[in-house]
Amino acid sequence: MTDSSLPADLRVAVVTGAGSGIGRAVARLMLADGYKVALAGRREAQLLETADGHPDALAVPCDVTVPDDVARLFAEVRLRWGRVDVLFNNAGVFGPAGDVGEIGVDEWEATLRVNVTGSMLCAAEAVRAMKDQQPQGGRIINNGSISAHSPRPRSVAYTVTKHAMTGLTKSIELDGRAFGITCGQIDIGNTRTEIMDTIGVGSGALQADGSRKVEPMFPVEDAARAVLMMANMPATTSVGSLVVTAAGMPFVGRG
C-alpha cells in the first residue's frame, strides 16, 4: 500500500549489483536524478559506500540466486515506497575462462545461476509488483553485453548467459504489454570497471586470432547515462535494445 505522504511524482528504482561497477554508477546517477533507489548486492558495506548517506537510498543485502532474498528485497521496497517503477537487472559474473571442453559443470551452473536465474527471479518480483500497483506498469532494463551479439574467445559460459538474457528480455516485453510493462536490454562494451581487469582489456585482451590487444575503454559514468536515458523514456516508448561501446573497440568486425 502506498504511503499517502509520498509525493505524487514518486519514481522508485531497484538496482542489482549496486555495490560496484556499472550498478554503482547507475544507482548514484538515478539518486542524483531524483529517484528513490534500492541498492541490492551481496556485500552490505559496498552498498552503503554506494549510497554514501543519500536519504533516498535503501541498501538491501541480497543474493539474487536465492528466491527468499529476492522476495525480501522487493517486499522491503514496496513497504518503504509502495511501488517499483524501474528494475535495472545488473548483477552478474564473468564465469570461467575456457572453451566448452575445458570448463567444469559446477562453474557453468554457477554462472547460469547468477546471470540467468538471478535475473529471472528479480524480473519476476518486479513484474508482480508492477502488475499490482496503481498506476500499473513499469520498466525493466536488463544488462546484457556485447557478448550477446559476438563472443570473446574462451567465454562460453558468460556468452551463453548473455544470449539467454536477450530471450528473457524479449519474453518479458511481450508478456508485459497488457500491463504497461516494458523491457529492454543494454549491451555495453568495454566500460571501465573491475571486470575489464579480469579479461585484460587494458593490458591486452585475447583476440579471435590468438593475439592480445590493448582495447579502448570508456568511463562507466557514460554507461550509466545510457541506462538513465532508457529509464526516463516515457511509458509510451519501449527501448528494446541499446548497444553502447568504447569508440574504436574491436566489436564491429570482431574476428
How confident is the model at residue 192, as a pLDDT?
A: 87
29 in helix, strand or coil?
Answer: helix
Using the Cα atoms of residue 136, residue 3, residue 184 and residue 30 in order, give the sign of their dihedral: positive
pLDDT tens digits, residue range 85-95?
999 999 999 99
How confident is the model at residue 194, as a pLDDT?
A: 74
Low-confidence ranges of the chain (pLDDT < 50): 1-4
Separation CA 31–CA 47 (nearest Å): 13
How confident is the model at residue 200, as a pLDDT?
A: 66
In 3D, which of 20, 15, 29 has the Cα closest to residue 225?
A: 29
Instruction: Determine how β-strand 212-213 pairs with β-strand 205-206.
Output: antiparallel
In 3D, which of 136, 134, 139 has the Cα closest to residue 172?
A: 139
How confident is the model at residue 205, as a pLDDT?
A: 87
Catalytic residues: 158
How confident is the model at residue 231, as a pLDDT?
A: 98
pLDDT tens digits, residue range 156-166?
999 999 999 99
Separation CA 76–CA 120 (nearest Å): 19
How confident is the model at residue 252, as a pLDDT?
A: 76
Q: Supply the pTM of this predicted model.
A: 0.93
